[in-house]
Amino acid sequence: MNDDRKPMVLRAERQVLRLLGALPERVQRRLAGAPVRIDGQQLRPEVQVALRLMKVAAGKTFEQLPLAEGRAQISAEAWVFGDEPPVDSVAEITIPGADGTMIPGRVYRPSGLPDNAAILVYFHGGGWVLGGLDAADSACRVLANHAGIAVLSVDYRLAPEHPYPAAIDDALAAFRHVVADAADLRIDPSRIAVGGESAGGNIAAVLARLATVDPNVGSPPAFQLLFMPVTDLSKKHRSYELFADGFFLTDAQMDWYKARYLGDPAQAADPRVSPLLAEDLSGLPPAYIVTAGFDPLRDEGEAYARRLADAHVPTAHRRLDGCIHGIVNATGVSAAARDALVEAAGALRVGLAPR
């Protein structure tokens, strides 16, 4: 939507956050207040300022609202914090789903992209319940431009209308579509990465394993890019206790997500829900995993990176010290977000280089 069609309060929030994000760090520190230190790390001033502003402006959070309003709120936040760097072409497409449904998608192609290019199949965050193509738009644009690849963002079905395994089924259908229609998409089927953020990182991690072992896929993923992924819904790791509230994603919100995603709580022990619990991770594609220092999901993401490395999967892990969950979507207001995405794009560029 054009900026001037957004509600005035959202436009004001967006402008204020951009102004605050552009201030020198010493000024941000004064505005942020006393430093927040937990577990041997300090919250970044730009993040602390944003959290302080969000607290002042806070009404009901999304899990306290009717579902449609909660989804609208998350979409509005994505626009407030994100940015829309220009990309040479953005095309809306539909992908055949496994059960005859059509899955919406969005393809980003940066300028100068040759035919037979690499592609990232990307899944947005939102706890399998919220979010959509617009929520991932800013990250997809930065990754496409800086990695020099195409990006397909997948609008998988959401719970509770479509609980597990609908999102996984849609992810597999999207990946198979990219492999089968590589010529029409002008991409190289041997250079397909999977990636995502939060719940989307969970979907990407599960997809990476399923597509690697499934002979019907046609070509396994070449790389996986996981931003702050959910890897274990079967238990709460120590970072849940450390960052239970006050750092954007909360312990209570994760409970709310889980209750809506899973039809049966026992499904949390399934590796297609909790990839950390898979018995064997060997043979998976190389991985670049990003975690945030002040995130309830931090420890399970880092445990997954260790398990991949122990299984001799080439794995690089980057912790964004002083940052919160979802930071990579805040490209319009956060230098840390932009830097993290540019660094991840470099990993993609190397991981998907022609062999």
Residues marked active site are found at 198, 295, 325
Please return the burial class of 296, using the count of CB atoms within 10 Å of its CB with bins 0-12, 13-18 and 19+: buried
Q: What is the 3-state secondary structure (H, E, C) of 27-62?
A: HHHHHHCCCCEECCEECCHHHHHHHHHHHHHCCCCH
- Continuous H helices in the chain: 8-21, 25-32, 45-57, 67-81, 137-147, 166-180, 182-185, 199-213, 238-242, 251-261, 298-310, 335-351
**What DSSP letter does each residue of 309-349 carry, written as one string?**
HHTT--EEEEEEEEEETTGGG-TTT-HHHHHHHHHHHHHHH
**For residues 110 and 148, is the Cβ–Cβ distance under 8 A?**
yes
**Closest by alpha carbon to 348, among 92, 139, 85?**
139
- Continuous H helices in 58-157: 67-81, 137-147
Structural element, H or E, at residue 294: strand 287-294
Q: Compute how many other C-beta atoms are within 10 angstroms of the C-beta atom of residue 158.
A: 23
- Report the residue count for the chain: 355
Cβ burial 92-110 (10 Å sphere, 16+ → b, else e): eeebebeeeeebebbbbbb
Residue 180 structure tokens:
């089968």
